[in-house]
Structure 1
Amino acid sequence: MTTVDQLGARIAPHDDRAEVAVLGGVLLDNEQWRNVSDLPAEAFQREGHRIIWLAMHALMQAGKGVDLVGLSGHLERLPARISGRNALDEAGGLTYLIGLGESVPYAYRTAEYAHTVRDLYARRLLLSHAGRASAMIYGVGMDPQPTETIQDFLANVPTPAARVTSNIVTGAAADQGALEYVRQLAAGHSPALRTGYPDLDSEFCGFHPGSLTVLGARPSMGKSSLAIGIAERVSLSGRSVQVLSLEMKASQIAVRQLSHAARVPLKEALNGQATSAQLDRLEAAAERRAARNLPAYMDQPDTTLPAVERLARHLKDAGRLDFLVIDYLGLISVPGRDGDENDTQKLGIISRGLKTLAIQLDIPVLVLHQLNRSLEARQNKRPEMADLRQSGRIEEDADNILFVYRDEYYNPNTADLGVAEIIIGKQRQGPRKVTAKLKFHAESATFQSLAAEHALL
């Protein structure tokens, strides 16, 4: 509750009686500890209550339990901030400890009292956060901050540390979860999203919830085309897919897919050489595709990492995000670190941010990345892990790393004309350093499995 002092000033929300009831409830019945131990000391508004709570924590962790004698003795041995006193004096003395137990209406309702304490603590955090945002807007003690910075700050409202503990899973519970996961796999129900390319799916174990996959290649290898192909095939399975293309507009992406579906050469479509018959086929393909579940695109998205995170959270909350595809990592900017595109620390911040986002939203994220130019000097130009630009942090954060390689790009007389190698450099759920081969259609810049597959779009 919020109260007003004698001078009319507002006092931060708190409930002194609820705080006393929590402390007294544990003192009277140590079994209540398991229901309230997740409360941080900061949840108590009164400083003396914080001191008592920390002492209770120390005693419970030592396996001694909490009673009046043990608690008062522990506090007596702790120094206070004022010289010549101890923590017991600072907490209110022995009389105050005795009064805690006498002030508890019902010990069995300690968890309810703790809920009140926790909720009011959350309100104090909100007030503090709002005050900081106000200072950023008006420039109190600082220069007025950019709107985007303030929005990002407001998007990260602090919550009581107690809520974090709700994610803690016991070892036994983890075992049961693992057992159920294996059972689902055995029954053919994998939580992973398949790429939709049979040849690739035979080697790659898919995009698991919470995973970050990096798709790397040199320019003109077709990594964007492959990513869009995967996005469309995942969409056909009924999933909500969002593509953030930081290089091309949605219509530029769609013309490739549409040309492939209509069997119209991409070059003719883009050069204005499409015949009347070809235009009819393109129109028919567009109508056919409109009846399918296709990915969503965003034209000219905000390219900052916080903006990407905001968009993903919004879509997830709206039930419109099962798979996020970003083209590409090097074009994402980090406020304050945009002076050097090759900045290792900046790319590390982005890869860690995307991995964290995948975990928090429980979705797979696929991000494209351009490889180092140094591989062009090798005789064998097939990508390796070391070819990832500023690879250390990216290699560490990624659950899966895929590379695209087309030998015909370097060797026009190769026996693998029209064939692309998808090299699996890393995958946590399956074998690594294996390769799948796909058909690459140069006339439409799209991929297809070499194995027989039905026309999808």
Structure 2
Amino acid sequence: MADILRIAEPASPAGAPALPQNVEAEAALLGALMIDNRLVEEVQTRLQPHHFFEPLHGRIYESILRLTDRNMIANPVTLRPLFEADEGIKEVGGPAYLAQLTGSGAAVIGARDFATQIYDLALLRALIGVGRDLVESALDTSEEVAPLAQIEKAETELYKVAEEGGAEGKAKSFSEATKLAIEMAERALNSGGHLSGITTGLDSLNSKIGGLHSSDLIIIAGRPGMGKSSLATNIAFAAAQRFLRDADDGIEPGKSAGAAVALFSLEMSADQLATRVLAEQSGISSENLRMGKISQQEFRQLARAAGELQSLPLYIDDTPGLTIAALRARARRLKRQKGIGMVIIDYLQLLQGTGKNSNENRVQEISEISRGLKQLAKELNLPVIGLSQLSRAVEQREDKRPQLSDLRESGSIEQDADIVLFIYREDYYVASREPKRPVEGDDAKAHEQHEEWARDMSRVYGLAELIVAKQRHGATGKVRLKFDSRITKFSDAADDNYLPEMRSS
């Protein structure tokens, strides 16, 4: 025990308080694990080698995990060859130290409590490290003072402590990855064979892409007026509503086809977005809602819809001019506090980069933003939907259907995205070509031109195409939708769900 106590001397600067630790608990746990290897299964899911305060104990624990993982017995005899040359163990009497750790068989009874305490103390040390770094950077005024950047960095580090105990990401074994893949397939099977991710609220789109998957970056792009914000709001509402419904049906959050949603609206205010959702659910024109042109009956419909939506897990942040770093910090906070399972950004080009001269090189700034959104999707393990503008090149072509090359300002958006969806509404362009309405006295040609235009408009009115231009998980193609501009709502078309597959570019 004297050797163990010698290890326990605090490794802190002179005069500084010792860091939280209990080396005796670490030694007792290691002894218990070597006496009964079955305990390894109970503690290894949470406790990692870096959680041990004493580095030697971390190395011993790691060796125990390695041996038991190969179905070998881990005890002082089998571990001895691994530590013959270890400098740390020489300081405490050599490999005989391993046998000393097993001296108290009573430690087996408290093994789980020891593991919990070791983990909790590791969290406290990680928290102290974040606080120390924050104080040092705040006191250092030798470089450019950027308090907001320091706060965002501290939030990032705190999120790591909260989610991982201060650990960096670890590689998954193939068996772990396989288990996740099987769970996803089972989820798709139980949903009726096509939905392995979070629902979009559109059956035809779910059938094409399988829903929205964790760690994916989905880009929804289109020219102004195509309905990008409307589609994003529709998806946000559908996912949040499904999450509520599944919770009422007793389905666990992890198995739900819905999700709590964070919607970062850099263009519209929260009340404008709420008006859209209310219009969609009450069936009342959003324009009439804004202008108060509604009857008492319609107002009752509105009040009923508002009451039903009060508990909707949809969180709107309408702060303008967010940087990508600030957005990621806010998303982490919402994940921690509200348990969000999806993030939507409306829209990508309104975000700002973090570089000092970001405005001088917009392409680099957009690259940083798209890369940051993909990193956010992976870090929080949820789908991130980013809306994007398209370049004016679309307007110069006769066929105004968007292409991947139209993504505005940076090819990195195309590279970073897992799925790229383009919205195309032919009625928008046909409406803009309306000839002058003929009046009495105009010649037959004027009447004929307007009648031809009216036939074209009748053919395409209210129809939309959602072009799946890129999809890492499956085929590209087109999905037919209906769009009701009165209440800004997309819905499944009554005819064929989607058109034949496009050739991927």
Aligned to 1:250: 270
Q: Is 1:10 paired with 2:30?
A: no
Work out the CA distance in 2 between the residues paired with 1:51 and 1:203. 48
Aligned to 1:99: 97
Closer/same/farther in 2, CA of residues 299 and 118 from structure 1, 3 Å limit: closer
Closer/same/farther in 2, CA of residues 155 and 60 from structure 1, 3 Å limit: same
Work out the CA distance in 1 between the residues paired with 2:101 and 2:319. 61
Describe the SS at the equivalent of 2:460. coil
Cα deviation per residue 1:395-452 (whole Å; 9 max; x = unaligned)?
A: 34433321111234444245524432221223455542223132353x6655455439
Q: Is 1:366 paired with 2:381?
A: no
TM-score by length of 1: 0.73
Closer/same/farther in 2, CA of residues 175 and 14 from structure 1, 3 Å limit: same
Which residue identity is paired with 1:329?
Answer: L
Cα deviation per residue 1:243-273 (whole Å; 9 max; x = unaligned)?
A: 321011133345556667565584x887xxx
Deviates more, 1:155-164 or 1:385-394: 155-164
Cα deviation per residue 1:332-375 (whole Å; 9 max; x = unaligned)?
A: 22333662387445434433443444455454432211123333
On the 8 A contact 1:245/1:297 being kept in 2, the answer is yes
On the 8 A contact 2:323/2:354 being kept in 1, the answer is yes
Cα deviation per residue 1:168-191 (whole Å; 9 max; x = unaligned)?
A: 6546744753563354134x6945
On the 8 A contact 1:404/1:422 being kept in 2, the answer is yes
Unmatched tracts of structure 1, length 5 or more: 79-86, 453-457
Which of 207, 214, 226 is 2:231 aligned to? Answer: 226
Work out the CA distance in 2 between the residues paired with 1:318 and 1:6. 36
Describe the SS at the equivalent of 2:221. strand
Q: Percent identity of the aligned residues? A: 29
Work out the CA distance in 2 between the residues paired with 1:4 and 1:170. 36
Question: How far apart are residue 10 of structure 1 and its match?
Answer: 1.8
Work out the CA distance in 2 between the residues paired with 1:205 and 1:173. 19
Which of 311, 316, 326 is 2:330 aligned to? Answer: 311
TM-score by length of 2: 0.68
Closer/same/farther in 2, CA of residues 198 and 257 from structure 1, 3 Å limit: same
Aligned to 2:212: 207
Cα deviation per residue 1:203-258 (whole Å; 9 max; x = unaligned)?
A: 45333454432110122222122222333444554464443210111333455566
Work out the CA distance in 2 between the residues paired with 1:165 and 1:31. 24
Work out the CA distance in 1 between the residues paired with 2:36 and 2:207. 58
Alignment of structure 1 residues 259-408 onto 2, 5 Å: 264=285, 266=287, 278=294, 283-284=299-300, 286-293=302-309, 295-300=314-319, 303-319=322-338, 321-336=340-355, 339-340=358-359, 343-389=362-408, 392-408=411-427
Which residue identity is paired with 1:247?
Answer: E
On the 8 A contact 2:213/2:383 being kept in 1, the answer is yes
Describe the SS at the equivalent of 2:21. coil
Question: How far apart are residue 45 of structure 1 and its match?
Answer: 3.9
Question: How far apart are residue 287 of structure 1 and its match?
Answer: 2.2
Aligned to 2:249: none
On the 8 A contact 1:226/1:446 being kept in 2, the answer is yes
On the 8 A contact 1:2/1:10 being kept in 2, the answer is no
Work out the CA distance in 2 between the residues paired with 1:172 and 1:8. 51
Deviates more, 1:29-38 or 1:97-106: 29-38
Q: Is 1:135 paired with 2:136?
A: yes
Work out the CA distance in 1 between the residues paired with 2:347 and 2:180. 35
Work out the CA distance in 1 between the residues paired with 2:279 and 2:74. 74
Closer/same/farther in 2, CA of residues 182 and 326 from structure 1, 3 Å limit: closer
Work out the CA distance in 1 between the residues paired with 2:61 and 2:198. 47
Work out the CA distance in 1 between the residues paired with 2:308 and 2:115. 51
Question: How far apart are residue 153 of structure 1 and its match?
Answer: 1.1
Work out the CA distance in 2 between the residues paired with 1:192 and 1:372. 31
Which residue identity is paired with 2:223?
Answer: R
Describe the SS at the equivalent of 1:11. coil
Which residue identity is paired with 1:99?
Answer: Y
On the 8 A contact 2:334/2:340 being kept in 1, the answer is yes
Describe the SS at the equivalent of 1:213. strand
Unmatched tracts of structure 2, length 5 or more: 1-7, 245-257, 434-452, 496-505
Closer/same/farther in 2, CA of residues 394 and 384 from structure 1, 3 Å limit: same
Which residue identity is paired with 1:438?
Answer: K
Aligned to 2:476: 432
Work out the CA distance in 2 between the residues paired with 1:37 and 1:91. 23
On the 8 A contact 2:355/2:365 being kept in 1, the answer is no
Describe the SS at the equivalent of 1:228. helix
Cα deviation per residue 1:19-53 (whole Å; 9 max; x = unaligned)?
A: 44455556667776666778665544446556766
Describe the SS at the equivalent of 1:95. coil
Work out the CA distance in 1 between the residues paired with 2:327 and 2:50. 32
On the 8 A contact 2:481/2:490 being kept in 1, the answer is no
Aligned to 2:447: none
Compare relative contact order (CA 8 Å, sep 6+) and give the higher one, 1 or 2. 1
Q: Is 1:421 paired with 2:468?
A: no
Closer/same/farther in 2, CA of residues 101 and 246 from structure 1, 3 Å limit: same
Aligned to 1:185: 191
Question: How far apart are residue 71 of structure 1 and its match?
Answer: 5.9
Work out the CA distance in 2 between the residues paired with 1:324 and 1:235. 12
Work out the CA distance in 1 between the residues paired with 2:112 and 2:198. 41
RMSD: 4.6
Deviates more, 1:218-227 or 1:280-289: 280-289
